[in-house]
Amino acid sequence: MPEMNLIQALNHTLHEEMARDECLYVLGEDVGAFGGVFRVTKGLQEKFGEARCFDTPLSEQGIVGFAIGMAQKGLKPICEIQFADYIFPAYDQIVNELAKMRYRTANQFPVPMVIRTPYGGGIHGGLYHSQSPEAQFLHTPGLLVVVPSSPYEAKGLLASAIRAQDPVLFLEPKRIYRAIKEDVPLEEYLIPLGKAHISREGNDITLIGWGAQHRQNLQAADEMEEEGISVEVIDLRSLNPLDRETIIESVKKTGRCVVSHEAPKTQGFAAEISAVIMEYCFLYLEAPVKRCCGLDTPFPHTLEGEYLPDAPRVKRALRETIKY
């Protein structure tokens, strides 16, 4: 069982899945001989040929639109959008065509495809290379949204996304692309979509996050243990479908909850999670649900550390909720 970082785990999975299924195709900007801007698709063109791993023009709308047609013809395309910040030219294709195609054709033309894209801050990329746009796609029925937080999860979740019969937006937290290594089995395994993971059990308060923010949440929880506060940490993994059951059971047990994500606080996905908790856990709550999120500003370059909700900020939110 070799150690892999997140990029290596994704690359290994793409090689494994393309060898398993000849209907899989990889397309995007510089994904071929160059191997992608972050090298996630390295070696795919060399192994499977230019017909199955190929470069596209610099047109996100064209990439997704072309892939929709491929999927309708029985192929399984895996698109790469170089940065999530660049995905918005394809927003019309994703929201008005891709997500609705199964419904509008009465299930005659499902579009099983994956859109992979690096997202989030932590690499000093400034306002055009650091955004977390998940909430803008979570309001789109018919589109699955998945976010791994570790190399092990990356393999199992990507394999499940590739085999899903609905379109999947697969957000890859580039902040931890090379920052974490862990054992990843070489044999095939799947992590089911729509099932959260309790990474750390606790009794006093629930802490919910996903992607790179999950790592900050774990650090905060470990440090809070030294203060005598037991924090249960949930890694959502799938944002749509959302594992409401795991959230509800945890909050009923602890009576308190903090939700933390990198995206701006206002109308972020933490608000939806808070609403779910209010609907199903109201009588169990000892304090209001608190959000610890990015700031309501465009993503800054020089003040990235102040913008991102790091472990110290998460700890302050936990303390305030406990003391309420």
Bin 255: left if φ > 0, else alpha if -120 < ψ < 50, else beta.
Answer: left
Q: What's the CA dihedral at 55, 58, 59, 64 to 10 degrees?
A: 30
In one-letter notation, the amino acid at residue 238 is: S
DSSP letter string, 151-172? HHHHHHHHHHHHH-SS-EEEEE
| Residue 7: partners with Cβ closer than 8 Å, 6 or more residues away | 38, 39, 40, 177, 178
**Three-class SS state of 54:** strand
Q: How far apart are CA 190 and CA 181, in angstroms?
A: 19
- Please, what sign has the CA dihedral across residues 56, 60, 65, 68? positive
Q: What's the angle, vertex CA 207, arms to CA 309 and CA 7, rounded to 5?
A: 65
Q: How far apart are CA 17 and CA 158, in angstroms?
A: 9
Q: How far apart are CA 182 and CA 265, in angstroms?
A: 31
Active site residue 129: yes
Q: How far apart are CA 168 and CA 161, in angstroms?
A: 6
Hey, what are 102's tokens?
């199964």
Catalytic residue (one of 12, 15, 124, 129): 129
Catalytic residues: 129
